[in-house]
């Protein structure tokens, strides 16, 4: 072990218990108890899920909006005036926790997220970066479209009912009242999954049950998203198109309508982009140890999530990666040092203890042991 080891601490958030910034701070405090002279860099991470917006700098904007069930709530986003960019988590307004006690799998919509987008545009945002994880909706982004003045209608000319179930009746989208400044924005959609829009690996089948959908409702939602793709002429097979209940479908159509091409909408894996934007990718080859963390370490951790992204980077650089996880399920890949959090209601104490254990293993030269 180097006398002054260089350590990067780059955790994801622990949903509902610790932000990525808090987690990084508490892990570092534990490490510092064992390795007092270590050169530690805190680099909170995200993957497009909850907590993505706060990774980026800017002003916190909070305003009234609606949740996925249409009830009044407050939500915040980050606005970087210098870059004319808004960073918005779909989970902020349209997230699952707000409706967990009474899920709305077929009627939940993203209108509340659209309210945040419209507000950002009035402040001068010309680029909208959406973190797509953690939504309670499967509406193909149509709620956002409605908030921006585009009304989905059936063949009789009536507006569709909100949510994903009525998408099977879509005939056209009325753009007479479209918010043009919002529609022409540059869209960056950060995904934490690679799911396509439809099919057995799509938004409804994979994530619908997590949002409260029955098997029958899953089939209805999948049919609705498939019909939406057909009517809007959007390729639903693109990886990530199924993220956040297919939000990319509606926004791809909107951007293509405005610009004639898909050049102004970018559906990207969130974690790699954030690793580059925060400088983590550049720092890793010079580190002696990288520490990350998330609530649950399992097979999904390696499909577009923070852990999988950092594992690829550390493996390429030959740097050990420690993961402090609330729960560890399944086999842990080579090159990862798994540390399960102690059972406690004190998250700060859990993470400090995990930091100490990781530092002790590293100091003892066993950081690569499993």
Contact 87, 277 (CB under 8 A): no
162 pLDDT exceeds 90?
A: yes
φ, ψ for residue 161 (rounded to 5)? -65, 150
Mean pLDDT of 103-117: 98
| Nearest-angstrom CA–CA distance, 95 and 69 | 10
Confidence of residue 173 (pLDDT cuts 50, 70, 90): very high
Q: What is the pLDDT of residue 158?
A: 98
Lowest mean pLDDT among 10-14, 47-51, 278-282, 322-326: 47-51
Lowest mean pLDDT among 1-10, 143-152, 254-263: 1-10
**Pair 87, 230 in one domain:** yes
Tell whether 368 is covered by a domain.
Answer: no
Domain range for 346 is 6-45+279-363
| Nearest-angstrom CA–CA distance, 336 and 289 | 11
Mean pLDDT of 327-349: 91
Q: What is the pLDDT of residue 63?
A: 98
Q: What is the C-alpha R_g of the chain?
A: 21
**Who wins on pLDDT, 226 or 303?**
226
Q: What is the pLDDT of residue 32?
A: 97
| Three-class SS state of 323 | strand
- pLDDT tens-place string over residues 177-228: 999 999 999 999 999 888 999 999 999 999 999 999 999 999 999 999 999 9
101 pLDDT exceeds 70?
A: yes
| Three-class SS state of 20 | helix
Q: Give the mean pLDDT of the chain.
A: 95
Q: Where are the alpha helices (DSSP H) in the chain?
A: 20-34, 90-94, 111-122, 142-147, 180-183, 215-232, 247-259, 270-277, 280-283, 306-317, 347-363
Q: What is the CATH number of the domain that holds 230?
A: 3.90.1510.10
Question: How many domains would you assign to the chain?
Answer: 2
Decide which of 271, 288, 308 is a domain's last residue: 271
Mean pLDDT of 282-295: 96
Confidence of residue 370 (pLDDT cuts 50, 70, 90): very low
Confidence of residue 368 (pLDDT cuts 50, 70, 90): very low
Q: What is the pLDDT of residue 369?
A: 40
**Pair 327, 232 in one domain:** no
Confidence of residue 59 (pLDDT cuts 50, 70, 90): very high
**Pair 104, 134 in one domain:** yes
| Nearest-angstrom CA–CA distance, 101 and 249 | 28
**pTM beyond 0.85:** yes
**Pair 337, 290 in one domain:** yes
**Pair 126, 240 in one domain:** yes
Mean pLDDT of 146-171: 98
| Nearest-angstrom CA–CA distance, 240 and 54 | 22
Decide which of 202, 237, 271 is a domain's last residue: 271
263 pLDDT exceeds 90?
A: yes
Q: What is the pLDDT of residue 266?
A: 97
Confidence of residue 304 (pLDDT cuts 50, 70, 90): confident
Mean pLDDT of 229-251: 97
**Pair 220, 264 in one domain:** yes
Decide which of 271, 291, 322 is a domain's last residue: 271
Token output for 282: 């550049």
**Pair 261, 297 in one domain:** no
Lowest mean pLDDT among 1-5, 48-52, 162-166: 1-5
Tell whether 339 is covered by a domain.
Answer: yes
């Amino acid at each position: 072990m180097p006398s002054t080891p260089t350590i990067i601490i780059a955790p994801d958030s622990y949903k509902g218990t610790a932000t990525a910034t808090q987690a990084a701070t508490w892990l570092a405090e534990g490490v510092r108890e064992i390795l007092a002279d270590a050169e530690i860099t805190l680099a909170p991470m995200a993957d497009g899920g909850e907590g993505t917006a706060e990774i980026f700098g800017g002003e916190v904007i909070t305003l009234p909006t609606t949740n996925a069930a249409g009830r009044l709530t407050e939500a915040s986003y980050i606005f970087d005036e210098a870059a004319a960019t808004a960073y918005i988590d779909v989970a902020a307004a349209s997230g699952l926790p707000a409706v967990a006690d009474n899920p709305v799998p077929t009627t939940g919509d993203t209108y509340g997220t659209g309210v945040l987008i419209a507000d950002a545009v009035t402040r001068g945002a010309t680029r909208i970066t959406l973190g797509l994880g953690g939504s309670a909706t499967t509406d193909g982004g149509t709620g956002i479209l409605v908030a921006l003045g585009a009304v989905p209608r059936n063949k009789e000319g009536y507006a569709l009912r909100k949510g994903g179930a009525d998408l099977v009746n879509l005939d056209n989208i009325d753009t007479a009242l479209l918010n043009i400044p919002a529609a022409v924005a540059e869209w960056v959609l950060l995904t934490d999954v690679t799911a396509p829009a439809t099919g057995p690996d799509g938004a409804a089948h994979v994530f619908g049950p997590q949002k409260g959908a029955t098997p029958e409702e899953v089939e209805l939602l999948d049919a609705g998203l498939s019909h939406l793709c057909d009517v809007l002429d959007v390729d639903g097979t693109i990886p990530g198109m199924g993220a956040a209940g297919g939000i990319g479908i509606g926004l791809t159509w909107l951007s293509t309508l405005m610009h004639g091409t898909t050049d102004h909408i970018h559906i990207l894996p969130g974690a790699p982009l954030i690793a580059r934007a925060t400088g983590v990718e550049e720092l890793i080859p010079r580190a002696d140890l990288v520490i990350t963390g998330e609530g649950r370490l399992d097979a999904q951790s390696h499909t577009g999530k923070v852990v999988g992204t950092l594992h690829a980077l550390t493996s390429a650089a030959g740097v050990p990666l420690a993961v402090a996880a609330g729960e560890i399920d399944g086999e842990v890949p080579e090159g990862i040092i798994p540390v399960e959090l102690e059972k406690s209601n004190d998250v700060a104490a859990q993470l400090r203890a995990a930091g100490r254990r990781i530092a002790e293993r590293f100091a003892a030269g066993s950081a690569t042991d499993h």
